[in-house]
C-alpha cells in the first residue's frame, strides 16, 4: 500500500509535508516549554495552601486513574486509526477517529466534573496559590485536549468529504503528534500532581 | 453590552491625554485620507494586506516599526523634558501620566519597534540570502504580521480609549495586581503582549524551518551568511523563550480578572514567581533583539571593508554559544530579590561568561576592517558607531553582573544608561544600518547618503549626550522613573540629557527627510543591477526589488560569500536556456481576518465584553478551519510569465553600470581571487 | 491511479499494542503504590519519577515513533534542546524559588 502512496506524492509536496511536520514539531517543543513553566510554578506553589485545602484533601485517585485510562486508550485508538489510514481504509479511519473522540470527550467530562466538584466544595482556583497553580496547569492540559477534540471533528469531516488525500493524511499525522504529545503531558501531570498529592 | 467601557474612558480629562489621542486619531485619518486621495485602496487591499509575499510582509513590518519608533521616541522626549524641568517643581506631566509614558515607551520600543523591525528585516532578506523562493509557511507569516499589528493597534488605541499601564514595561506584581492597579491599563499591556507574542512565536517557527529546510542547493550550514545565522539562533530563542512570557502574562491575567492567587501578597501567592518567569523570557529576549543586529553588522562590515568576514566560524560559534548561555543568566535582573550568595554568584559568573563570545565578535569585526578598503556609507558609519559605543555599554554590563555592585546600582539611572547603551547602539543602530543597507533591495532605489550621514551623527552624538549623564546620575543615587525630585545636583545632568534627546530628535528628523528626499529623487539613485554595494551574499543576486519568486532558477552555491564567488567565477548573471513554471502561494485575507479578530478579542477582554471576546475567538477558529481545509492555496506562474519578468530584468541589467560601486573612492576592484585567509 | 494514502511511512498495529501494554504496566505500578502506600513516601516518589521517565520514553518510541534511524535529525536536535532548556528552566526556577523560601523562612 505504502508504495502506492509514495508514488502519488510529488517530491515538492513531500518536501512541503516534511516542512510542516518539522514546523509542527517545533510548536510542540514550544508548547512543552509552556507546560514546563506551569509545572515549575505548580511545584513552587504546591505548599502555599493559605490555610485552605491541601492536595490530599481535594485529589481523588480513582478519578485520576479513570482519566488516565481514557486518555491512554484514546492514544491507542488514534494509533489504530493511523494504521487504517496507512492501509487506505477510509471507513475504519472514520470509525476509530470517532472512538478516539468519545474517549477524549469522556476525559474532558471527568475533568469538568472534578473541577466543578472542587469549586462546589470551596476549593476553587481563587482559594489559594496552590489551587490557582493546580487549576491552571491541569486546565491548560484540558484546554489542549478540547482543542484536540475540535481538531478531530474537523479531521473527521475532511476524511469524510475529501477522502484520504495526501494533504488530509499529512494533517492527520500532525493531529496524531498533538494527541500523543498530550498523553505525555498527562503522564507528567499524574506523576507530579496527583500521585505525590495523595501520598 | 460594553463591559466596563463607559463614556468616561475617553481622554477628555486632561489636555495632554486629549492631544495624544487627537494626534493618534488624526494620524489614522490622515493615512486613510491619503490612501483615498491616491485612489490606492484597491492596491492596498489586493496587493499588500492580503499578501503572503515575504518581501511585502517584511516591508509592512518595517513600516510598523518606524511608526512605533516615532511614537516611542515622543514618549522618551516627553520624559526627558519633564525630568529636565522637574527640580522642585511639578513639571508639565502629572505623575499618573508620566508613569503611563515610561511604561508605554519601554513596551513600544521592545515589543512594537524592535520586534517588528527584526521580523521585517528577516522577512525581507533571509529567504533571498539562502537562495529560496519563499519562507516555509507564507500564510502563517501573514498571520504573524497581523497579530503583531493587532498588538500595536491596541497600544495606539490605549491612547484614545482608557488609560495605559503605569506599571512599567515589565509590569511587576504586586503593583500590577488588581489590588493596587485597578482599571484597564495593565490589562492593555497584558493582552497586547500576549497577542503579539503568539505572532512572534509563529515567526520564530517559520524562520527556523525556512533556514533548516529551504536552502538553495549547495548552501550548507557553514556557508550561510552571518545575518541568516543570527536569525536562525534568534528563532530558536523565540521558540523556547516566549512560552515563559506567555505563561507569566496568562497568570497575571488570571490574577487580575478571575481572582487567582499567583502573585498576590496574600492567599499563597508569590510575586517573585512572576519576576522569575518574566526574566526567563526577558534575558533571552535581549539576545533575540541584538543577535540580528550583530548579523547586520557582520554583513555591512565585510561589504564596506570590501573584504571577506574575518573569523566566520568563530562568529557562528559565538552566536550559538550566546544562544545557549542566554538561558542561564536571567537572575541577574533581580539580584536584589535576596537570594543566597550561592545563587547570586552563579548567575553573576554566568553573566560575565556570556560577555566573552560577544567580545570575540567585536574582535572579528575589527579584524575584518583591518587592512580593508573601507567605504564610509551610512550603514558602515552606524556599524563603526556601534563598535565604539557598544563596548562601553558592555563594560557597564559586566560591572552590573557583580552582585555587590548591582545592589548599589539597582533601579538607578545607571541601569537605564546601561541598557540603552546596549539597545540603541546595538539593536537600533543595527536595524537602521540594515534599513539603509537593504532599502534598495526592497524598493529599487538607494537612500540619500547625505541625510543618512547626518542622521548617523545626530543619533550618535545625541546618544552620548543623552545617556552618559545618566551613568553619573546613577552613581549619584538617582532612581529611575522619577516624575520630580528635590536634589539640586541632579538637575544639570538631566538638562544635558534633555539636550541629548533634542539632538536625537534631529536624528529622527534626518531619517524622515532622508526618506522623503530619497523618494523624490529616486530616479537619480536607481539600483539597476540589484547589487548596489558590490555585495557578497545571495540577496544581491536578485533584481531590486526582487521578483515575486526571488530566483527564476535556484542558485547553485559553491562557497561562502556565494554571490561574490559567483561573480568571481563569472557565472553571476547567466541566463538559463529556458524557464520553468513556478508554484506560488495565493494571496489571502485569512491572515488579516485572524489579526483583526485577535485585536478585537484583546479589546473585548480588556473591557470585559465577554460576548465580543467569544465572538472574535469563534471568527479566529472559523478562519483557521477554513484555511486548514483549503487544498487550493497555490497557483502556477507559467514559464512564459517568468520569462517576461526576467527579460525585463536583463534589459535593465544591460543599462546598469558594470559595478555600481566603481566610482567610489577606495573601490578595491571587481571581485577577483583573494589570497587564502 | 487512485491515491490511497498520503503516508510516507507504513504504520502497523504492533507498536501501538506493545506501547499500550507497557504504558498500562508503567501506570498501574505508581497508581498502586500511591493507593496502598506500602512503601515509604520518599521511595515511592523516586519510583514514581523513574517510571514516569520510562513511560515518556515508551510513548515517544511506540506512539510518536521517535527513533534514531527514521526520525529526521533536526527533530531530534529540537527535542534534545527542548529537554536541556526545560531542565535549565524548571531546575533553575525551583532552585531560585526554594532558595528564596529558605531565606524567608516560609
Nearest to A180 among C27, C34, C59 (CB): C59
Q: Of all residues in chain B, what percent carry a pLDDT higher than 70?
A: 99
Q: Is the predicted pLDDT of residue B460 greater than 90, yes or no?
A: yes
Whether pLDDT at B15 is above 90: no
pLDDT, tens digit, 9 for 90 and up, residues B266-295: 899 999 999 999 999 999 999 999 999 999
Read off the pLDDT of residues B470-526 as tens digits, 9 standing for 90 and up.
999 999 999 999 999 999 999 999 999 999 999 999 999 999 999 999 999 999 999
Q: Which of A40, A85, A195 sits opposite C90 (nearest CB)?
A: A40
SS3 content of chain C, % helix, strand, coil (to 5): 75, 0, 25
Average pLDDT, chain B: 94
pLDDT surpasses 90 at B20: no
Residue window 16-55, chain C: list those with CB within 8 Å of chain A.
16-17, 19-20, 23-24, 27, 30-31, 33-35, 37, 41, 44-45, 48-49, 51-52, 55
Number of Cβ pairs < 8 A linking chain B and chain C: 41
**DSSP assignment of B511-554:** HHHHHHHHHHTGGGGB--SS-TT---SGGGGS-SSPPTTS-SSP
Q: Tell me whether residues B269 and A158 touch, CB distance under 8 A.
A: no
Q: Which of B439, B429, B431 is nearest to B519 (CA)?
A: B439
CB-based burial, B58-72: b 16+ in 10 Å, e otherwise: bbbbbebbbbbbebb
Please give the residue that has the higher pLDDT: either B637 or B17.
B637
Residue pair B312/B251 in contact (Cβ under 8 Å)? The answer is no
| Residues 6+ positions from B63 with CB-CB distance below 8 Å | none
Lookup result for grid cell 568571481: B568
- Residues of B in Cβ contact (< 8 Å) with A130: 268
Give how far Cα B321 sits from Cα of B283, B326, B391, B394, Å: 14, 8, 19, 17
**Residue B410 annotated among the catalytic residues of the structure:** no
- B250 contact residues in A (CB cutoff 8 A): 136
Q: With CB atoms and an 8 Å threshold, state whether C93 touches B270.
A: no
The answer to whether B214 contacts A158, with C-beta atoms less than 8 Å apart, is no
Residue of B nearest to A39 (CA): B247
Question: Which of C31, B573, C64 is closest to A194 using CA atoms?
Answer: C31
pTM: 0.95
Give the whole-angstrom CA distance, residue B425 versus residue B34.
34
Whether the CB of B267 is below 8 Å from some CB of chain A: the reply is: yes
- The whole-angstrom distance between B247's CA and the closest CA on chain C is 13
Residue ranges per structural domain of chain C? 1-65, 69-106
Please say if the pLDDT value at position B676 is more than 60.
no
What residues in C contact A178, CB-CB < 8 Å? none
| CA distance to partner chain A, nearest, from residue C79 (Å) | 7
Does residue B180 surpass a pLDDT of 70? yes
Residue-wise pLDDT for B545-566, tens only, equals 999 999 999 999 999 999 999 9
Kindly indicate the confidence band of residue A45, based on its pLDDT and cuts at 50, 70 and 90. Answer: very high
In this prediction, residues B398-407 reach a mean pLDDT of 95
Q: Which of B54, B55, B56, B71 is catalytic?
A: B71
Which of B307, B361, B410, B441 does the annotation list as catalytic? B361
- Per this entry, what is the length of chain A? 199
Q: Are C47 and C90 in contact (CB under 8 A)?
A: no
Q: Which chains touch C (3 or more CB pairs under 8 A)?
A: A, B
Q: To the nearest whole angstrom, how far is the Cα of B251 from the nearest Cα of chain A?
A: 8
pLDDT digits (tens, 9 = 90+) for A56-69: 999 999 999 999 99
Contacts with C19 from chain A: Cβ below 8 Å: 76, 79
Q: Which of B175, B240, B363, B419 is catalytic?
A: B419
Amino acid at each position: 500500500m505504502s508504495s502506492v502512496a509514495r508514488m502519488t506524492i510529488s517530491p515538492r509536496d513531500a518536501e512541503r509535508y516534511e516542512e510542516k511536520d518539522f514546523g509542527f514539531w517545533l510548536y510542540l517543543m514550544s508548547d512543552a516549554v509552556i507546560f514546563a513553566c506551569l509545572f515549575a510554578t505548580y511545584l513552587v506553589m504546591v505548599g502555599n495552601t493559605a490555610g485552605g485545602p491541601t492536595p490530599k484533601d481535594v485529589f481523588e485517585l480513582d478519578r485520576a486513574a479513570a482519566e488516565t485510562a481514557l486518555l491512554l486508550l484514546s492514544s491507542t485508538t488514534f494509533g489504530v486509526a493511523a494504521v487504517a489510514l496507512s492501509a487506505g481504509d477510509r471507513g475504519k479511519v472514520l470509525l476509530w477517529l470517532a472512538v478516539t473522540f468519545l474517549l477524549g470527550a469522556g476525559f474532558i467530562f471527568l475533568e469538568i466534573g472534578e473541577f466543578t466538584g472542587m469549586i462546589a466544595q470551596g476549593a476553587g482556583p481563587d482559594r489559594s496559590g496552590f489551587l490557582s497553580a493546580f487549576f491552571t496547569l491541569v486546565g491548560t492540559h484540558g484546554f489542549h485536549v478540547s482543542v484536540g477534540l475540535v481538531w478531530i471533528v474537523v479531521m473527521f469531516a475532511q476524511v469524510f468529504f475529501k477522502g484520504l488525500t495526501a494533504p488530509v493524511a499529512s494533517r492527520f499525522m500532525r493531529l496524531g503528534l498533538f494527541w500523543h504529545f498530550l498523553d505525555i503531558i498527562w503522564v507528567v501531570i499524574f506523576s507530579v500532581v496527583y500521585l505525590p498529592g495523595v501520598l | 453590552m460594553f463591559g466596563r467601557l463607559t463614556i468616561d474612558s475617553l481622554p477628555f480629562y486632561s489636555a495632554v491625554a486629549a492631544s495624544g489621542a487627537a494626534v493618534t486619531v488624526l494620524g489614522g485619518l490622515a493615512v486613510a485620507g491619503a490612501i483615498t486621495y491616491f485612489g490606492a485602496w484597491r492596491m492596498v487591499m489586493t496587493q499588500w494586506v492580503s499578501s503572503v509575499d515575504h518581501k511585502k510582509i517584511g516591508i509592512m513590518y518595517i513600516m510598523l516599526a518606524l511608526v512605533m519608533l516615532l511614537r516611542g521616541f515622543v514618549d522618551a522626549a516627553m520624559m526627558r523634558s519633564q525630568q529636565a524641568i522637574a527640580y522642585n517643581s511639578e513639571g508639565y506631566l502629572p505623575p499618573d501620566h508620566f508613569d503611563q509614558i515610561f511604561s508605554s515607551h519601554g513596551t513600544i520600543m521592545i515589543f512594537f519597534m524592535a520586534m517588528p523591525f527584526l521580523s521585517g528585516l528577516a522577512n525581507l532578506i533571509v529567504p533571498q540570502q539562502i537562495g529560496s523562493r519563499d519562507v516555509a509557511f507564507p500564510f502563517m507569516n501573514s498571520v504573524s504580521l497581523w497579530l503583531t499589528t493587532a498588538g500595536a493597534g491596541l497600544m495606539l488605541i490605549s491612547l484614545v480609549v482608557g488609560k495605559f499601564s503605569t506599571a512599567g514595561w515589565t509590569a511587576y506584581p504586586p503593583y500590577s495586581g488588581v489590588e493596587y492597579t485597578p482599571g484597564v491599563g495593565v490589562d492593555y499591556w497584558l493582552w497586547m503582549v500576549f497577542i503579539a507574542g503568539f505572532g512572534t512565536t509563529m515567526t520564530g517557527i517559520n524562520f527556523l524551518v525556512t533556514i533548516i529546510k529551504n536552502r538553495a542547493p549547495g548552501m550548507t550550514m557553514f556557508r550561510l551568511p552571518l545575518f541568516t545565522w543570527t536569525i536562525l539562533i534568534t528563532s530558536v530563542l523565540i521558540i523556547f523563550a516566549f512560552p515563559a512570557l506567555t505563561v507569566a502574562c496568562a497568570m497575571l491575567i488570571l490574577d487580575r480578572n478571575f481572582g487567582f492567587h499567583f502573585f498576590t501578597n496574600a492567599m499563597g501567592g508569590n510575586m517573585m514567581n512572576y519576576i522569575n518567569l518574566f526574566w526567563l523570557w526577558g534575558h533571552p529576549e535581549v539576545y533575540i533583539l541584538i543577535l540580528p543586529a550583530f548579523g547586520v553588522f557582520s554583513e555591512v562590515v565585510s561589504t564596506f571593508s570590501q573584504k571577506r568576514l574575518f573569523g566566520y566560524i568563530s562568529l557562528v560559534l559565538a552566536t550559538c554559544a550566546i544562544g545557549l548561555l542566554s538561558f542561564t543568566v536571567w537572575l541577574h535582573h533581580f539580584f536584589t530579590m535576596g537570594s543566597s550568595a550561592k545563587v547570586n554568584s552563579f548567575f553573576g559568573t554566568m553573566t560575565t561568561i556570556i560577555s566573552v563570545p560577544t567580545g570575540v565578535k567585536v574582535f572579528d569585526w575589527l579584524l575584518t576592517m583591518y587592512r580593508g578598503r573601507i567605504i564610509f556609507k551610512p550603514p558602515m558609519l552606524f556599524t563603526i558607531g556601534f563598535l565604539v559605543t557598544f563596548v562601553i555599554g558592555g563594560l557597564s554590563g559586566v560591572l552590573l553582573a557583580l552582585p555587590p555592585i548591582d545592589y548599589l546600582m539597582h533601579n538607578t539611572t545607571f541601569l537605564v544608561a546601561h541598557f540603552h547603551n546596549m539597545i540603541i547602539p546595538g539593536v537600533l543602530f543595527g536595524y537602521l544600518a540594515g534599513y539603509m543597507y537593504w532599502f534598495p533591495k526592497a524598493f529599487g532605489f538607494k537612500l540619500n547618503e547625505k541625510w543618512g550621514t547626518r542622521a548617523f551623527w545626530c543619533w550618535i552624538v545625541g546618544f552620548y549626550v543623552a545617556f552618559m549623564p545618566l551613568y553619573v546620575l546613577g552613581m549619584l543615587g538617582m532612581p529611575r522613573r522619577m516624575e520630580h525630585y528635590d536634589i539640586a545636583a541632579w538637575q544639570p545632568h538631566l538638562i544635558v540629557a534633555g539636550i541629548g534627546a533634542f539632538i536625537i530628535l534631529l536624528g529622527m528628523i534626518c531619517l524622515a527627510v532622508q526618506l522623503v528626499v530619497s523618494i523624490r529623487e529616486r530616479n537619480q539613485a536607481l539600483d539597476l543591477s540589484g547589487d548596489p554595494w558590490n555585495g557578497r551574499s545571495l540577496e544581491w543576486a536578485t533584481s531590486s526589488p526582487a521578483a515575486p519568486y526571488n530566483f527564476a532558477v535556484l542558485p547553485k552555491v559553491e562557497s561562502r560569500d556565494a554571490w561574490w564567488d559567483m561573480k568571481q567565477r563569472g557565472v553571476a548573471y547567466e541566463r538559463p536556456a529556458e524557464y520553468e513554471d513556478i508554484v506560488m502561494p495565493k494571496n489571502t485575507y485569512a491572515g488579516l481576518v485572524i489579526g483583526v479578530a485577535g485585536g478585537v478579542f484583546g479589546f473585548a477582554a480588556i473591557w470585559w465584553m465577554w460576548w465580543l471576546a467569544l465572538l472574535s475567538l469563534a471568527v479566529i477558529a472559523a478562519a483557521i478551519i477554513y484555511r486548514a481545509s483549503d487544498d487550493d492555496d497555490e497557483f502556477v506562474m507559467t514559464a512564459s510569465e517568468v520569462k517576461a519578468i526576467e527579460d525585463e530584468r536583463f534589459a535593465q541589467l544591460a543599462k546598469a553600470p558594470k559595478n555600481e560601486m566603481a566610482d567610489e573612492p577606495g573601490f578595491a576592484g571587481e571581485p577577483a581571487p583573494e589570497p587564502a585567509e | 491511479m487512485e491515491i490511497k494514502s498520503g503516508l510516507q511511512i507504513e504504520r502497523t498495529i504492533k507498536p501501538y499494542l506493545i506501547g499500550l501494554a507497557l504504558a498500562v504496566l508503567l501506570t498501574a505500578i505508581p497508581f498502586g503504590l500511591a493507593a496502598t502506600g506500602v512503601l515509604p513516601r520518599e521511595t515511592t516518589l523516586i519510583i514514581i519519577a523513574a517510571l514516569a521517565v520510562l513511560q515518556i520514553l515508551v510513548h515517544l518510541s511506540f506512539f510518536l515513533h521517535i527513533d534514531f534511524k527514521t526520525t529526521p535529525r533536526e527533530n531530534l536536535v529540537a527535542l534534545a534542546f527542548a529537554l536541556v532548556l526545560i531542565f535549565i528552566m524548571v531546575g533553575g526556577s525551583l532552585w531560585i524559588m526554594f532558595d528564596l523560601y529558605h531565606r524567608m523562612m516560609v
